[in-house]
Amino acid sequence: MTWLDWSIVWAFCLISVLIGVALRRKAGESLEAYFVSNRALGWWLAGTSIAATAFSSDTPLLITGMVRRRGIWGVWEVWALGISTMLTVFVFAKLWKRANVMTEVELVELRYSGGAAAFLRGFKAVYWGLLYNCYVMGVWPVTGMTKVLQETTSFSREHAIIACVVLGAGYTSLSGLWGVVLTDAFQFVWAMVGAVILAVAAVQTVGGLDALAGRLHGSASLEVIPPITDGSASGVLASPFGWFLGLVLIQWWAWKNTDGGGVVVQRLVSCKDERQAMRSVLWFNIAHYCLRSWPWIVTALASILLIPDAALQDQVGGRAFIDHERAYPRLITMLLPSGLRGILVASFFAAFLSTLSTQLNWGASYLLNDGYKRFLNPRASERHYLAVARLLPFLLAFGAMWIAFANRTIGSSFTWILNLTAGIGPVYLLRWFWWRVNPWSEITAMAASLPLLLIRPRVLAWLGAPSGLLVELLFMVLGTAAIWLPVTLATPPVDRATLKTFYARVRPPGWWQIVRVAGPAQEAWGTSLRQWLIATVALFATTIGPLQLMVGPRGQGAWWCAVAGIAWGVVWRGAAVSRPAARADASSPV
């Protein structure tokens, strides 16, 4: 790193901090301003903020590790989640906006009642806002940024961790969500520019796209769909294709963010109206999967030719392993001259800060709104709550640093989180569709997840079950359901008044006959579901088609692009997002 590179990096960081300082007064108007931007965000700003949050310093490294270990098909571990995020566009965006909560956790006492609901709200505030949030920040964005700084600068691992987190916590504390979303837009553009620069440099170094495709032709690296090892049932389940089936058939609805998740929900409830909320998540899906995937994947493919595995060896606890995730930042030092190298390092700061600032603000909203204000000090002034809100990001930053010091890999942590939260998703889905779900349903599912994950290997071995992700996910989903469903039926239902209030405000689809009486026709949810299925096909076709046009087979790429064009045309013609959602008559009885 030369003085020019450092000048670019510091200029970027200074701009980010100045944006936060400039919005300090606006964020300090109220808690709604600090945590949900006065519910005044437009779709493009909210959607870009979600995309910037998902575009973290760890994500290019995560994708690189997936591609180097498996091939393009390894990225389905990320892509498959698009099925649930597209469901959020057409179903959950409007439900969350109607709920009019400040946080996802606040929904608990709108949907449920009694002491169990109060306990669940407080528990989720601490569990998701503090423990889970600190873990996620530490193992993903902080670890990713640390590896980048280690590869590109003379920073030690410890100094890199401290520098990254302190910078992010500082401007997040000042600016609240207004500063987060505006810096996200700036940072997303910068991060995308950096990703494209490195992709172009990597492809040019290997001789162009044709040379890249030719040198990898015949290898598994260019395969988009995982292979089947043999035709037997057990062989399919244990094969990479069985792993793929587990992702597209189960993982997307079984994980905790199946109805949107905390960060997405915060942006949805911050939008001006339902239409803006729906469009924001649609734009996020396009930016997240279609726009940002190809530069990372192309760079990862080039890294297979440019960096041998032996050059990426590392050790943890005396055990050697190949750290494929380091290939991406190593290409920065290998390929880019002074100036461009500074742009790339700054782009990683952009990706890192956009994610960290969101996680800090989101976690603080849980701890303040659903913990401190709800249970510890419910009668304080707005000024007092804002002062506490500005201190909480530093508490969360300390926890993230503590986790990052103990973590070395990104990919294994990502897989572990998906497995841990598998089985929680069905409860989070059904609470919108089935009146009988109660707070004990959620409590039981969350409590059962970790023990089931720990005993899963032994139980499956004892049963002689085939290995593979599909079987493992089925074990988590069925195992948790075997616990939470009987508990649901054995515990008292939510009181009728609470259910009526929830239904009147949200108007959800599903089994609500107990509180719904005859009246005007309800919303045409079947149309929303059809639009979701078609839009999901369009999303994957738009992701895969251009990528295959670049690295082949180009005939398949052209076919996918044609499918994408037709599918998007059907979605637009259906106008599920281009017009406001149909609303039931406000005078209809519930």
pLDDT band at 314 (very low <50, low <70, confident <90, very high): confident
Mean pLDDT, range 288-316, rounded to an integer:
91
Least Cα distance to 190 among 78, 353, 46, 302 occurs for 353
Q: How far apart are CA 306 and CA 205, in angstroms?
A: 8
351 vs 83, more confident? 83
State yes or no: pLDDT of 451 exceeds 70. Answer: yes
132: DSSP letter: I
1 vs 389, more confident? 389
CB contact at 8 A, 339 and 161: no
State yes or no: pLDDT of 408 exceeds 70. Answer: no
Residue 513 has phi, psi (to 5 degrees) of -60, -25
Using one digit for the tens of pLDDT, what is the confidence trace for 222-257?
999 998 876 566 678 888 998 999 999 999 999 889
Which helix (H) or strand (E) is 314 found in, with range?
strand 313-316
Helix pair 114-126, 340-367: axis angle to 10 deg: 150
CB contact at 8 A, 88 and 259: yes
Task: Please report the pLDDT score of residue 321 as a whole number.
Answer: 79
Residue 235 has phi, psi (to 5 degrees) of -65, -40
pLDDT band at 172 (very low <50, low <70, confident <90, very high): confident
The rounded mean pLDDT for the chain is 88
Q: Where are the alpha helices (DSSP H) in 406-468?
A: 411-421, 425-433, 439-463
State yes or no: pLDDT of 589 exceeds 50. Answer: no
In angstroms, how far apart are the furthest CA atoms of the chain?
72
Mean pLDDT, range 157-181, rounded to an integer:
79
Query: 219: burial class by Cβ within 10 Å (0-12, 13-18, 19+)?
Result: exposed
* Neighbouring residues of 62: CB distance < 8 A, sequence distance ≥ 6: 78, 140, 144, 325, 410, 411, 414
pLDDT band at 205 (very low <50, low <70, confident <90, very high): very high
Query: 337: burial class by Cβ within 10 Å (0-12, 13-18, 19+)?
Result: exposed
Task: Please report the pLDDT score of residue 459 as a whole number.
Answer: 93
Mean pLDDT, range 393-415, rounded to an integer:
80
Q: Which residue has the tokens 């290898």?
A: 219
* Neighbouring residues of 104: CB distance < 8 A, sequence distance ≥ 6: 260, 261, 262, 265, 266
Domain ranges of the chain: 3-16+41-516, 528-580
State yes or no: pLDDT of 575 exceeds 70. Answer: no
Mean pLDDT, range 389-398, rounded to an integer:
92
Q: Is the peptide bond before 553 cis (omega within 30 degrees of 0)?
A: yes
Which helix (H) or strand (E) is 148 found in, with range?
helix 143-152
Task: Please report the pLDDT score of residue 586 as a whole number.
Answer: 36
Phi-psi region of 273 (alpha: psi -120 to 50; beta: other; left: phi over 0): beta
Least Cα distance to 189 among 291, 98, 106 occurs for 291
pLDDT band at 138 (very low <50, low <70, confident <90, very high): confident
State yes or no: pLDDT of 430 exceeds 50. Answer: yes
DSSP lists the bridge partners of residue 41 as 271
Using one digit for the tens of pLDDT, what is the confidence trace for 366-380?
999 999 999 999 999
Phi-psi region of 230 (alpha: psi -120 to 50; beta: other; left: phi over 0): beta
Task: Please report the pLDDT score of residue 175 as a whole number.
Answer: 79
Q: Cα dihedral sign for 373, 376, 379, 381?
A: negative
- What does the buried/exposed string (b/e) look like for 438-447 if buried means 16 or more CB atoms within 10 Å of the residue's CB? bbbbbbbbbe
Task: Please report the pLDDT score of residue 579 as a whole number.
Answer: 54
- Could you tell me the two tokens for 206? 């290997």
Percent share of the chain, pLDDT over 70: 92
Which helix (H) or strand (E) is 319 found in, with range?
strand 319-322
- Could you tell me the two tokens for 100? 């009019």
Q: How many CA atoms lie within 13 A of 588 on its CB side?
A: 19
Helix pair 340-367, 157-205: axis angle to 10 deg: 130
Mean pLDDT, range 519-523, rounded to an integer:
53
> Which of 386-390, 462-466, 535-539 is the least confident region?
462-466
DSSP string, 325-342: GGHHHHHHHHHPPTTHHH
Q: How far apart are CA 482 and CA 420, in angstroms?
A: 16
Q: How many residues does this entry show for the chain?
A: 590
Q: What dihedral do alpha carbons 468, 58, 129, 190 form, nearest 10°?
A: -140
Using one digit for the tens of pLDDT, what is the confidence trace for 21-31?
788 888 788 89
What would the 3-class secondary structure string for 284-305 be? HHHHHHHHHHHHHHHHHHHHHH
pLDDT band at 107 (very low <50, low <70, confident <90, very high): very high
Using one digit for the tens of pLDDT, what is the confidence trace for 13-66?
888 878 877 888 887 888 999 999 999 999 999 999 999 988 877 889 889 999
State yes or no: pLDDT of 363 exceeds 60. Answer: yes
Q: How far apart are CA 418 and CA 413, in angstroms?
A: 9
This prediction has a pTM of: 0.90
Mean pLDDT, range 500-524, rounded to an integer:
78
Q: Which CATH number fits domain 3-16+41-516: 1.20.1630.10, 1.20.1730.10, 3.30.565.10, 3.40.250.10?
A: 1.20.1730.10
State yes or no: pLDDT of 581 exceeds 60. Answer: no
DSSP lists the bridge partners of residue 320 as 315
State yes or no: pLDDT of 578 exceeds 50. Answer: no
Using one digit for the tens of pLDDT, what is the confidence trace for 454-483?
999 999 999 888 778 888 999 999 999 999
72 vs 162, more confident? 72
Mean pLDDT, range 329-337, rounded to an integer:
93
Which helix (H) or strand (E) is 561 found in, with range?
helix 554-574
Calculate the CA 123 to chain-centre distance. Answer: 22
Helix pair 143-152, 327-335: axis angle to 10 deg: 30
* Neighbouring residues of 522: CB distance < 8 A, sequence distance ≥ 6: 507, 509, 516, 584
Percent share of the chain, pLDDT over 90: 60
- Could you tell me the two tokens for 222? 């260019």
State yes or no: pLDDT of 544 exceeds 80. Answer: yes
